Structure 1
Amino acid sequence: MAESRNLYRSYAEHLQEKYGEKIYKLPVNLPGTCPNRDGTVGYGGCIFCDEAGAGFECLPNTLSISRQIAQNKEFFKKRFNAKKFIAYFQAFTNTYLGLEDFKANMLTASQEEDLVGISISTRPDCINEDYLAVLSDLQKERPLDINIELGLQTVNYRTLKKINRGHTLAEFVDAVLRIKKYGFPICVHLILNLPWDDEFDVIENAKLLSALEIEYVKLHSLYIVKDTVLGRMYAQGEFTIISLEEYVERVILFLEYLSPEIVIQRLVGKGPQGNMYFCNWDTSWWKIKALIEEEMREMGSFQGKKFNYLNGSALRNTVLAKRI
């Protein structure tokens, strides 16, 4: 029995229950960019983002989709005897491609054997009906599980502006509502230790995702890459990073307010190696995960412990409600 059971809904357990076996994600790296880099909504990208975007674990984007999937498959099959996979379009903004290119790429991936799903990473301001319709048509041709990963990072719209995110909270809500119409599950990315956020933002992150009935969430700790805007700010002493102990506290607080139905894909990111000022308090991601789980057990904490704020929560405490 997995250590996370009864603490939070883990992704690995969710996939095992859904498919009856372990499923592995195959990163796919497409040539592309982001509207926050090319001037459409901004230049330079988010202040924490380097040239690789989120694709530092990917194979080179000069390789074809089929080649990338084949190489990653071979690795997982040899190392873990893997049999079923999800193609994960990870780096940059995958719905920022031209519509026909996007359609062709998704079609190519969908033809791969042993594939049970496709996961597409993008920005909230790069979701529209045309791209969702392409995915809907694709799913009718082959019944794959398709989900969309949205980078939000925080519900604090002032922090979104500070990190040069290029969109506000409204675009995120709009994207979620449009995706929901097509029935695709959504995974939201959050950074719980942004220097301009506090515990109230952590709680509100959980509340908004719960209210919108998001299916999955990925938590990250902020890493600071040299030669980025954030790196220069850090070097100049413009902000400090919270301690590892406080990060653990924030993750637990987030989980306690989060709907118990939401699946946790990640409690802390791995982060890139090399040209770094800061990454995960110089601690392995799995050790941080273990710290969170150990602390939750000692506290008697669990996901959804404080999930009591929806469906007119104030009415439950009124005199009228008590009379009824």
Structure 2
Amino acid sequence: MPYKTYSEYLKSKYSEKVYKLPVNLPTTCPNRDGQLGISGCSFCPEVGAGFETISNSISVKEQLQNNMSFIKKKYKAKKFIAYFQNFSNTYMDTELFAKYMEQAAIDNIVEVCVSTRPDCITTEHLNILKEIGEKHQLEISIELGLQTVNYHSLHKVDRGHTLAEFIDAVLQIKAFNFQICAHLILNLPWDNMDDVVENAKILSALRVDQVKLHALYIMKDTKLGEIYEKGQVKLISMEEYKERVITFLEYLYPNIIVQRLIGRAPEENGLFVNWNMSWWKIRDLIHEEMISLNRYQGKKATYLGGKALNKFNSRKNSEYIE
């Protein structure tokens, strides 16, 4: 593969294929409950990102057991990751957070993955995850929804945070040695190729461990959906998205794990979803072009570690050294 895939990473780490089991908590986000805003991000529907999750009316343990039973039968799987996916899963009282995390520590779970916002990370929550991990011998990973390093675009989509909060969250999590995955949308209407490259550079400079890429999808009954229907926002073509993904990977450091190149979204109530193409078809087109043109992850990742001083390390410039 021309980039480091998540599936191979998991196989290497756990010696066999591992499956993520989504968990849906009865929580919200500060961009919905009035703390930062009331409408959420302009692209986010009422259900958030958890359109494939089980109802949060049942316990964490039951959700995991139900999902696990299905995946075990279908794929003969033995190891699983409890994936707290929807909304901001650290946006709650620490005692309640600890209770939910403890419920995830059941047989065959090898890792707890918590998805949240960059402005919802505290030492208290991280300490709870550390205690759960040590007590039950579980790996801990945290997914942060960044979307873009362009703070102007973050304002446009009403994220309620800037790049600074993401950097702060990464530094806090790094102190606990948890794996960090950043989410990025590579086709935001206000971003260009310079932003795509800068996305890769910032994640590489911060030593983020993993990245999830996805294309912007536009749903009905969202603020972005309203301006899209009025023709006030224009999206790039699938061909340009493909080029953005490949360019991003070329600038991304080669040791960073790529969880995905494009996401999935519910087609019902969708105004724009992946150019009306299946996600795997777009993924395969990206693979094919990278291989045929010898483009690969890290090919252009030469910008860190004092790039401007490289000339002094060259034999051709030995006259500068006495």
Q: Aligning the two structures, in what range does the TM-score lie when normalised by the shorter sequence?
A: over 0.9
Which residue does 1:161 correspond to in 2? 155
SS of structure 2 residue aligned to 1:95: coil
Give 3-state SS (helix, strand or coil) of 1:102's partner: helix
CA offsets per residue over residues 41-84 of structure 1, 9 Å max, x none? Answer: 11201000001111111011111111110110011111111110
* CA distance in 2 between partners of 1:21 and 1:273 (Å): 33
* Secondary structure at the counterpart of residue 175 of structure 2: helix
Unmatched runs of 5 consecutive residues or more in structure 1: none
Of 257, 261, 282, which aligns to 1:288?
Answer: 282
Which whole-Å CA distance do the structure 2 matches of 1:119 and 1:31 have between them?
17
Match of 1:105 in 2: 100
Matching residue within 108, 129, 138 for 1:144: 138
SS in 2 for 1:187: strand
Give the letter aligned to residue 272 of structure 1. Answer: P
Partner of 1:94: 89
Q: C-alpha displacement at 1:39, in angstroms?
A: 1.0
Post-superposition offset of 1:136? 1.1
From 229, 239, 248, the equivalent of 1:245 is 239
What amino acid maps onto 2:8 in structure 1? E
| Aligned residue runs from structure 1 range 193-212, under 5 A | 193-212=187-206
Distance (Å, rounded) in 2 between the aligned partners of 1:80 and 1:319: 52
- Pairs within 5 Å for 1:170-189: 170-189=164-183
Match of 2:261 in 1: 267
Which residue of 1 is the match for residue 218 of structure 2? 224
Using the TM superposition, name which of 73-82 and 190-199 deviates more. 73-82
Deviations along 1:114-143, one digit per CA (max 9) or x if unpaired, are: 011010000000001110111111122121
- Deviation digits for residues 233-278 of structure 1 (CA, Å, limit 9, x no counterpart): 1001111111000000000000000000000001000112200100
User: What does residue 51 of structure 1 align with?
Assistant: 46
In 2: Cα distance, 1:114 partner to 1:176 partner: 28
Superposition deviation, residue 317 in structure 1: 2.9
Matched, 1:190 2:184: yes
The TM-score normalised by the length of structure 1 is 0.96
SS at match of 1:164: coil
For residues 13 and 136 of structure 1, the distance between their equivalents in structure 2, rounded to whole angstroms, comes to: 25
2:68 equivalent to 1:73? yes
Select the residue among 7, 10, 28 that pairs with 1:33.
28
Give, in whole Å, the separation in 2 of the partners of 1:240 and 1:317.
43
Give the distance between the partners of 1:319 and 1:59, measured in 2 at CA.
57
d(CA) in 1 for partners of 2:300 and 2:177? 28
Shift of 1:319: 8.7
Deviations 1:131-180 (A, max 9, x none): 01111111221211100000000000000000000000000000000000
Say which of 300, 303, 308 aligns to 1:314.
308
Match of 1:23 among 9, 13, 18: 18
What stretches of structure 1 move > 6 A for 4+ residues in a row?
none
- Number of residue pairs matched? 318
Query: What is the CA-CA distance between 1:318 and the residue it aligns to?
Result: 5.0
The more displaced of 16-25 and 314-323 is 314-323
Q: Deviations over 1:164-219 (max 9, x none)?
A: 00000000000000000011110000000000000000000000000010101000
- 1:68 maps to amino acid: Q
Deviation at 1:320, TM superposition (A): 8.3
In structure 1, what is the Cα distance between the partners aligned to 2:293 and 2:186?
Answer: 20
Q: Secondary structure of 2:190's match? A: coil
The percentage of counterpart residues that share the same residue type is 56
CA–CA separation in structure 2 for the residues paired with 1:138 and 1:149? 17
State the one-letter code of the partner of 2:30.
P
Distance 2:111 2:130 in 1: 13
Look up the SS of the partner of 1:251 in the other structure.
helix
CA distance in 2, matches of 1:59, 1:170: 34
* Candidates 76, 100, 124, aligned match of 1:130: 124
